[in-house]
Amino acid sequence: VTAPGGGAGDGLADARTAAEALDGRDPLSSFRGRFEIPDPQRIYLDGNSLGRLSSDVRRAIERAADDWATRAVEGWTDWIELPARVGDRLARSVLGARAGEVLIADSTTVNLYKLAHAAADLRPGPLVTDADNFPTDRYVLEGVARQRGRRYVEAESLNAAIEAAAAGVLCLSHVDYRTGALRPMAELTASTSSTDGLLVWDLSHSAGAVEIDLAATGAQLAVGCSYKYLNAGPGAPAYLYVHRDLVGELRSPIQGWFGRREQFSMGSGYEPADGIERFLAGTPPIAGIMAVDAAIGIVEEAGLARIAEKGRALTALAIERADAWLTVHGVEVRTPRQPAVRGHHVALAHPSAWQLARALIERADVVPDFRPPDILRLGFAPLTTSFVEAWDALDRLRRLLEDGAYRQVAAGTRRVT
């Protein structure tokens, strides 16, 4: 291990040694070995976009194939229970929700569509989100508003969003996908309720990363994906949450047979199932749900308190290095500095953020991502990212900024950034 030299002041070796020491006493360090990391030199800081494959999840997918091969259609006697059973496990271990409040189903996009429509049945007002929310959330709400002949509002601040959502439906991300800001769930839920709005939380960037307590915060509705910090795999099924007092009042806009009471009576007419299962639509993706089940198992073993704590420490290290090395090069830290109000990625704003992201990938063996217009996003997945990796990634970014090598990256666009 060599300390980088040149231009960044004294104490660098010490600082890296400090990162090594953090790894040395990291209670989660052994979890990295549970994941498949074919190229350990490459520093993967995109686990907030697609988490890595664990051997547990690989085995779960193989088991699903075995199950299918050996049991064929008989498998449905057990598979049919999986959306609610794995939902209960996610509720208990990750979301702080109660049994019967969570279902594994569909994608986050489709689940938001279902809950936004269902919520709009109960509230006559506009459909609202904040202008910075994740694109699919904005598009879905806009579409639901159009279908229902309602007003759609993209508010410029959280306060404006809550105000606009009086007697309407509001959707907010728990952790902002660009800045990494973590929103106070209890407080915002209470303010939305005080004007009779219904709030749908998007937990995509917080589930499996920070401690969530849907029950204690009084959250009414939520959706989220399982392939970011939960590491269930690309396109793994998402989840939805409905507070138990609300579920009987809500109807899915997709009247599929899996959401019907006594599905296999195949009777005429649609009547929703009693519980959360009314939000199922069609045949659930069994292999994917088995992957989610295994992925939750790893989070249970690691413990969300420890995961959250390590995430705060990794982002603290990154922010500290950014302050020490990068701000002189025009980089601005856009992520909140108080650990309690951020998720596990750090947003660094720079006019050449896109080039910096490409240069990190092509020349520095670091995988971040870019979010328009000017955000370089570094995601720190506590189960797979080490403190030394965080340190080295910031160090490599420092070098790119110092020698200007990122300017040689060919301008251009790629479909996936």
Ligand X SMILES: *Cc1c(COP(=O)(O)O)cnc(C)c1O
H/E run at residue 366:
strand 366-367
Least separation, in Å, of the C-beta of 71 and ligand X? 29
Least separation, in Å, of the C-beta of 110 and ligand X? 7
202 is catalytic: yes
170: which strand partners?
A: 128, 199
Q: Please report where in the chains the tokens 């340190």 appear, as a residue.
A: 391
Q: How far is CA 135 from CA 119, 169, 178, in A?
A: 20, 17, 11
* Alpha-carbon gap, residue 311 to 334, rounded angstroms: 17
Least separation, in Å, of the C-beta of 202 and ligand X? 4
C-beta of 31 vs 134, nearer to ligand X:
134
Least separation, in Å, of the C-beta of 70 and ligand X? 31
H/E run at residue 360:
helix 353-363
C-beta of 108 vs 335, nearer to ligand X:
108
**Could you say which of 377, 396, 398, 399 is catalytic?**
377
228 is catalytic: yes
* Alpha-carbon gap, residue 42 to 58, rounded angstroms: 21
Q: Which residues contribute to the site for ligand X (CB under 6 A)?
A: 107-109, 134, 136-137, 173, 177, 202, 204-205, 225, 238
**Could you say which of 26, 106, 176, 202 is catalytic?**
202
C-beta of 383 vs 401, nearer to ligand X:
383
* Alpha-carbon gap, residue 203 to 172, rounded angstroms: 9
Least separation, in Å, of the C-beta of 182 and ligand X? 13
* Alpha-carbon gap, residue 200 to 223, rounded angstroms: 7
Tokens in use for 103? 């279902």
C-beta of 16 vs 183, nearer to ligand X:
183
134 is catalytic: yes
**Could you say which of 228, 310, 342, 396 is catalytic?**
228
C-beta of 35 vs 134, nearer to ligand X:
134
Among residues 331, 334, 338, which one has the least CA distance to residue 355? 331
Cα 177 to chain centroid, rounded: 8
114 is catalytic: no
| Three-class SS state of 334 | coil
Least separation, in Å, of the C-beta of 136 and ligand X? 5
Q: Where are the beta strands (DSSP E) in 75-232?
A: 102-104, 127-130, 152-155, 169-173, 198-202, 221-224
C-beta of 80 vs 238, nearer to ligand X:
238
What are the catalytic residues?
134, 202, 227-228, 377
